[in-house]
Amino acid sequence: MYREIARKGYPGGITIVKDFVKTLCSQPQTEPVIRHVRLGPKRVRRWFLRPQEKLDDEERRFLGLVLDASPAVREAYSLLQDFRKIVTEKNADALRSWLEQATRSSLAPIRGFARSLEQDMDAVMNALRLPWSNGPVEGHINKLKLLKRQMYGRAWIELLRRRFLAMGT
């Protein structure tokens, strides 16, 4: 769920990262950062999504330089890390205070993400509080769709039905 902030699933999520990287590359005072790191949206997004403990020393140093380059990026990083921690620890009680911070954010995509979470608060709270997941069901659906795509135009429906049934799991 926390990955959705930085992905294209939410309007402006990937655009913020791309725009920030473009701005960072155009600033002369940040040139040493650019010279030592191939700074692109994917790399910055990866740094943002991983906990700081899982970054090596060089990545942590460059992340610090990137965060120092913009207060808005520092705010986005802080909110994203807090949200990642809430989701990984399944801390439903901390979500309310995070939503309050996010709605006061200066970043429109984060405010929009917070509004979308509030609109579906029952489902979000259930995802954090309950031990069940629809992951296995989604996995089976993904496997079936993959098989269907592989067989498109190659065989009749009877063969497709037999392969579905032979999958078993």
**Per residue of the chain (169 residues), what is the pLDDT tens digit?**
444 444 433 444 455 556 666 665 565 554 455 455 566 777 878 888 888 889 989 888 888 888 887 788 889 899 999 999 999 899 999 999 999 999 999 888 889 999 999 999 998 999 899 988 888 889 888 988 888 887 777 767 787 778 777 776 5
Rounded distance between C-alpha atoms, residue 17 and residue 107, angstroms:
12
Pair 2, 124: CB distance under 8 Å: no
Pair 94, 133: CB distance under 8 Å: no
User: Nearest-CA neighbor of 60 among 75, 46, 73?
Assistant: 46
Where in 17-119 does DSSP place strands (E)? none
User: Nearest-CA neighbor of 87 among 99, 76, 101, 75?
Assistant: 99
Model-level pTM? 0.64
